[in-house]
């Protein structure tokens, strides 16, 4: 009888995962994205490998190879992701699979989003960044925050999806604990659907599970929102420096004085952050803004031209790497709309970012 109940639980997990994308759309809580970045699948397969499962076999179910996940711009249909998740839950036969996958998913698995979260100063800022930029991963759910004097709730919607809510809740708990050096306290984690193994999930998360509940997500103590993050350097390097030349390296420009070189270096160092204004740069150089403008004009330059050069050089280096998608690169350069990045890049190179990246790949293959 016990074995039969366990199998029934596994079937319930598989059924729930098969609705990972479809139920969310049917419920009207989230508009199903027609295409999903393969980075989502790559994060899952890496986690599956860490748990000892054969991710290559699971990928073959949807006609993919591991090498297909290396293209940061590649996407698959939502239906393919749905089939992959069904195959995963059927093959793995692990209660609380979403939580277990998240438990072995490191910071940096979703490079840009993780960077935007861990670069903040406090837990409160990290949660705000997570909610604000969660759309970058095109997940079939949304996140929101509810605050009061005693607690802060991060709500996962649609909460009826136990796989998705377990995955997101566990990622948040594990990563924020790591970034606060285990100082963060978790009041409880809530799920709208009773987990397959409540006791095992409580041990994995290290907190009380509230289920079935009216919502899914994580509840934290309000006073912990001020806890500082350790701003993990490895995550920053993984996004902006690994496998590519450091973006802070300034390309040499002839006949430039120390003022212009300083401006170029400052703007290059700010890639991925808010760019300083002309006025802020003038204060840093102990000059009046108009004086700085006249200085640049005498060199045949302007603040906007130097900024444009910085973005162009940053785009070239990031496109030569295979870490970030074109959409994510546009965001880092301060061109958050894909159309704006495409227009700027065609003005720089007379080709699209996709064409430039493809040309670089062909050149790199020929050089070997």
Looking up residue 271, the CATH number of its domain turns out to be: 1.10.10.60
Gap between the Cα atoms of 28 and 50, Å rounded: 35
Minimal CA–CA distance to 64: which of 50, 47, 83, 48?
83
Domain assignment of residue 234, yes or no: no
* 249 in the same domain as 197: no
Distances (CA, A) of 322 to 113, 115, 193, 222, 281: 16, 16, 38, 39, 32
Same domain for 172 and 220? Answer: yes
Beta-bridge partners for 228 = 122
Which three-class secondary structure state does DSSP give residue 310? helix
* 226, 255, 270 - which closes a domain: 226
Cα angle: 242, vertex 243, 246; to 5 degrees: 60
* CATH number of 216's domain: 3.90.1520.10
Reading the block at residue 325, the tokens are 């998608």
Sign of CA dihedral 42, 56, 241, 308: negative
Do 40 and 17 have their domain in common?
yes
Q: Which of 226, 258, 277 is the last residue of a domain?
A: 226
Tokens of 214: 């009216």
Give per-residue pLDDT as tens, 129-148: 999 888 888 787 899 999 99
Residues 121 and 220 grouped into a single domain? yes
Same domain as 118, residue 203: yes
Task: Please say whether the beta carbons of 299 and 257 come within 8 A.
Answer: yes
Whether residues 159 and 90 fall in one domain: yes
Let me know whether 28 and 175 are in one domain: yes
- Is 235 within the bounds of a domain? no
* Euclidean distance between CA atoms 201 and 195, whole angstroms: 8
| 349 within 8 A of 326, measured Cβ to Cβ | no
Sequence-distant (6+) residues with CB within 8 A of 219 are 151, 152, 153, 186, 187, 188, 189, 190
Q: What pLDDT does residue 12 have?
A: 39
Q: Which residues pair with 186 in a beta bridge?
A: 220
Report whether 49 contacts 58 (CB < 8 A). Answer: no
Q: Which domain holds residue 163?
A: 2-226
Out of 197, 226, 255, a domain closes at: 226
Which residues of the chain carry a pLDDT beneath 70? 1-33, 232-255, 367-368
Omega cis (within 30) before 158 = yes
Instruction: Give the 3-state secondary structure of 41-80.
Output: HHHHHHHHHHCCCCHHHHHHCCCCCHHHHHCCCCEEEHHH
Identify whether the C-beta of residue 174 lies closer than 8 Å to the C-beta of residue 189. no
In terms of C-beta density within 10 A (0-12 exposed, 13-18 middle, 19 or more buried), how is residue 255 classed?
exposed
Say how many domains are in the chain: 2
Torsion 361-363-365-367 (CA) sign: negative
CA torsion sign, 186 to 187 to 192 to 194?
A: positive
Do 343 and 300 lie in one domain? The reply is yes
Q: What pLDDT, on a 0 to 100 scale, did the predictor assign at position 5?
A: 31
């Amino acid at each position: 009888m016990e074995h039969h109940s366990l199998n029934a639980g596994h079937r319930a997990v598989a059924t729930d995962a098969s609705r990972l994308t479809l139920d969310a759309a049917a419920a009207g809580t989230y508009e199903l994205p027609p295409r999903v970045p393969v980075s989502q699948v790559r994060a899952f397969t890496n986690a599956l490998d860490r748990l000892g499962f054969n991710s290559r076999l699971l990928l073959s179910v949807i006609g993919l190879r591991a090498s297909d996940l290396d293209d940061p711009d590649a996407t698959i249909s939502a239906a393919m992701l749905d089939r992959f998740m069904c195959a995963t839950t059927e093959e793995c036969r692990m209660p609380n699979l979403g939580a277990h996958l998240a438990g072995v998913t490191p910071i940096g698995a979703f490079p840009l989003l993780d960077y935007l979260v861990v670069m903040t100063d406090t837990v409160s800022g990290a949660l705000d960044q997570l909610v604000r930029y969660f759309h970058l991963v095109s997940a079939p759910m949304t996140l929101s925050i509810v605050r009061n004097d005693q607690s802060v709730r991060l709500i996962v919607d649609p909460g009826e999806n136990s796989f998705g809510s377990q995955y997101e809740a566990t990622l948040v708990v594990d990563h924020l604990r790591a970034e606060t050096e285990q100082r963060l306290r978790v009041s409880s984690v809530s799920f709208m659907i009773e987990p397959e193994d409540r006791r095992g999930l409580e041990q994995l998360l290290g907190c009380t599970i509230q289920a079935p509940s009216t919502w899914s997500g994580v509840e934290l103590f309000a006073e912990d929102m001020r806890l500082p993050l350790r701003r993990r350097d490895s995550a920053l390097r993984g996004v902006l420096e690994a496998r590519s030349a450091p973006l802070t390296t300034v390309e040499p420009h002839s006949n430039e004085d120390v003022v212009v070189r300083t401006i170029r270096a400052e703007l290059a160092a700010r890639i991925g952050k808010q760019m300083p204004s002309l006025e802020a740069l003038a204060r840093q150089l102990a000059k009046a803004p108009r004086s700085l403008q006249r200085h640049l004009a005498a060199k045949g330059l302007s603040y906007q031209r130097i900024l444009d050069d910085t973005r162009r050089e940053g785009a070239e280096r990031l496109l030569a790497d295979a870490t970030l998608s074109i959409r994510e690169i546009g965001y880092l350069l301060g061109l958050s709309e894909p159309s704006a990045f495409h227009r700027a890049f065609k003005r720089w190179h007379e080709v699209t970012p996709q064409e430039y990246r493809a040309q670089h790949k062909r050149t790199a293959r020929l050089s070997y």
